[in-house]
């Protein structure tokens, strides 16, 4: 008998409604608790048993780019920490949204993990429609590392610094092109922000990841590229790419001689990139907690920190809550910037 039926049962001799309701509650609460426990039992058991098979870490960008490089630095040690193999799957395209959607639609069992970069909070600002909800379809796990974007050029390009570049861009609006790792990426935002802050116009060429973009700058198909340091570091060190500036307010410890954009005379310019892990929403909290703690242990290992620093990245490691705060803050921040810069893509 439902509560609604009890409240309407007022026939003589049937006893008071209050008495019936009290009697029903005495029976219903134990039943409800038992039902709740029975429903929770499979989830708890699955969480206790996790992981009992390989974990798929999906990178929504091609091999060779910064996201892929950072993911592979932690891959083996993360597997050892969890006692299972971690398999990286690259699924690039559509500014990372193809792979990201695949994780959003995956079973929330902890066996499909998204390893992505800060474009995760940029795409909702610049695309009119996404096939997933960034705020609600993912549960944050942990920050992994952070680093600046770097503006690099083919050695044959005439500009040797940001000042030279801006002078040329103002003299020939729209004629100088720059590449990025894709629409909605931090490198795309860095290029748009530079134009917005300086009143210049350069042609944006989006790529499907850092690897293909770097190759085209090396081949002089395009003169300039904003890209994460891991994708360009080796080529900068060997002189095959010419660094012009970094996007953060502090210089990169990897390239201390390369100035920041702000040092180069552009006020209010900062684009800080990060790499992080997410899982589908509704993934059991114990699974998320264990995965987050495993990431934090791995990135604080001296050898892992050294490898990350070798790519210009600083090891972080964070709680799920801290990553969630960053996501919420940046969703608002980049939406404001996209509106100011009038960036909107189909």
User: How high is the pLDDT of residue 7?
Assistant: 30
User: How high is the pLDDT of residue 279?
Assistant: 98
Residue 153, in any domain of the structure: yes
Give the pLDDT mean for 237-246: 97
User: How high is the pLDDT of residue 62?
Assistant: 87
With b for 16 or more beta-carbon neighbours within 10 A and e for fewer, the 170-179 pattern comes to eeeeeebebb
Separation CA 5–CA 34 (nearest Å): 23
Q: Assess whether pLDDT exceeds 70 at residue 25.
A: no
Number of other residues whose CB lies within 10 A of the CB of residue 230? 27
302 compared with 23, residue with greater pLDDT? 302
User: How high is the pLDDT of residue 175?
Assistant: 96
Number of other residues whose CB lies within 10 A of the CB of residue 205? 17
Residue 7, in any domain of the structure: no
Separation CA 67–CA 61 (nearest Å): 7
Q: Are residues 135 and 166 in the same domain?
A: no
Question: What's the pTM value of the predicted model, to 2 decimals?
Answer: 0.74
Phi/psi at 337 (5° precision): -65, -45
Q: Are residues 68 and 210 in the same domain?
A: no
User: How high is the pLDDT of residue 178?
Assistant: 97
Q: Are residues 155 and 213 in the same domain?
A: yes
Choosing from 207, 229, 246, the residue where a domain stops is 246
Question: Residue 70 has which token pair?
Answer: 């950072």
- Which of 2-6, 158-162, 225-229, 342-346 has the least mean pLDDT? 2-6
Is residue 8 classed exposed, middle or buried when 0-12, 13-18 and 19+ CB atoms within 10 A define those classes? exposed
Say how far residue 18 (Cα) sits from the centre of its chain. 55
Q: Are residues 133 and 154 in the same domain?
A: no
| CATH number of domain containing 77 | 3.40.190.150
The residues, any chain, with a CB within 8 Å of residue 35's CB and separated by 6 or more, are none
Q: Are residues 110 and 180 in the same domain?
A: no
Q: Are residues 131 and 163 in the same domain?
A: no
Give the pLDDT mean for 134-150: 95
Q: Are residues 200 and 222 in the same domain?
A: yes
Residue 18, in any domain of the structure: no
Structure confidence by residue, pLDDT tens digits, 307-320: 999 888 899 999 99
- Which of 27-31, 159-163, 174-178 has the least mean pLDDT? 27-31
Q: Which of the four pLDDT bands, split at 50, 70 and 90, describes residue 230?
A: confident
User: How high is the pLDDT of residue 64?
Assistant: 84
Separation CA 55–CA 89 (nearest Å): 10
Give the pLDDT mean for 129-140: 95
What integer best gives the mean pLDDT of the chain? 87
Domain span at residue 74? Answer: 55-146+274-341
Residue 6, in any domain of the structure: no
| CATH number of domain containing 216 | 3.40.190.10
User: How high is the pLDDT of residue 93?
Assistant: 84
Separation CA 27–CA 31 (nearest Å): 7
Q: Are residues 239 and 97 in the same domain?
A: no
User: How high is the pLDDT of residue 27?
Assistant: 46
User: How high is the pLDDT of residue 342?
Assistant: 84
- Which of 178-182, 263-267, 310-314 has the least mean pLDDT? 310-314
Residue 43, in any domain of the structure: no
Describe the crossing of helices 229-237 and 210-218 by its angle, rounded to 10 degrees: 30
**Number of domains forming the structure of the chain:** 2
64 compared with 111, residue with greater pLDDT? 111
HSE-CB at 96 with a 13 A cutoff on CA atoms is 31
Q: Are residues 159 and 231 in the same domain?
A: yes
Give the pLDDT mean for 195-207: 94
259 compared with 27, residue with greater pLDDT? 259
Residue 134, in any domain of the structure: yes
User: How high is the pLDDT of residue 310?
Assistant: 85
Residue 294, in any domain of the structure: yes
Q: Are residues 161 and 303 in the same domain?
A: no
Structure confidence by residue, pLDDT tens digits, 88-109: 999 988 888 999 999 999 999 9
Choosing from 231, 246, 261, the residue where a domain stops is 246
Q: Which of the four pLDDT bands, split at 50, 70 and 90, describes residue 46?
A: low
Structure confidence by residue, pLDDT tens digits, 268-305: 898 988 999 999 999 999 999 999 999 999 999 999 99
User: How high is the pLDDT of residue 320?
Assistant: 98
User: How high is the pLDDT of residue 80?
Assistant: 97
Q: Assess whether pLDDT exceeds 90 at residue 258.
A: yes
Q: Assess whether pLDDT exceeds 80 at residue 259.
A: yes
Q: Are residues 278 and 289 in the same domain?
A: yes
Q: Are residues 219 and 152 in the same domain?
A: yes
Residue 257, in any domain of the structure: no
Q: Assess whether pLDDT exceeds 50 at residue 15.
A: no
């Amino acid at each position: 008998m439902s509560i609604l039926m009890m409240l309407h049962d007022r026939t003589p001799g049937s006893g008071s409604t209050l008495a019936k309701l009290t009697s029903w509650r005495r029976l219903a609460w134990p039943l409800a608790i038992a039902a709740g426990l029975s429903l929770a039992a499979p989830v708890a058991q699955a969480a206790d048993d996790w992981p009992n098979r390989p974990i798929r870490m999906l990178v929504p960008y091609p091999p060779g780019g910064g996201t892929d490089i950072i993911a592979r630095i932690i891959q083996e040690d993360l597997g050892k920490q969890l006692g299972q193999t971690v398999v990286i799957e690259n699924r690039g395209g559509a500014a990372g949204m193809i792979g990201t959607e695949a994780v959003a639609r995956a079973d929330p069992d902890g066996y499909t993990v998204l390893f992505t970069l800060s474009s995760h909070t940029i795409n909702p600002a610049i695309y009119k429609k996404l096939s997933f909800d960034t705020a609600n379809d993912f549960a944050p796990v942990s920050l992994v590392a952070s680093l600046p974007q770097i503006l690099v050029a083919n050695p044959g390009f005439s500009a040797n610094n940001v000042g030279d570049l801006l002078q040329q861009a103002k003299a020939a609006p729209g004629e100088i092109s720059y590449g990025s790792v894709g629409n909605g990426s931090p490198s795309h935002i860095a290029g748009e922000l530079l134009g917005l802050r300086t009143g210049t116009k350069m042609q944006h060429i989006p790529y499907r990841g850092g690897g293909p973009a770097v190759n085209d700058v090396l081949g002089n198909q395009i003169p300039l590229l904003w890209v994460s340091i891991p994708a360009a570091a080796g080529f900068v060190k060997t002189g095959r790419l010419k660094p012009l500036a970094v996007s953060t307010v502090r210089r990169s410890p990897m390239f201390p001689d390369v100035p920041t954009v702000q040092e180069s005379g552009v006020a209010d310019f900062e684009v800080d990139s990060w790499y992080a892990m997410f899982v589908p929403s509704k993934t059991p909290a114990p699974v998320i907690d264990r995965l987050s703690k495993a990431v934090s242990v791995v990135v604080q290992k001296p050898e892992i920190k050294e490898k990350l620093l070798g790519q210009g990245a600083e090891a972080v490691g964070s709680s799920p809550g801290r990553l969630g705060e960053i996501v919420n803050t940046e969703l608002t921040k980049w939406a404001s910037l996209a509106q100011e810069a009038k960036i909107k893509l189909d």
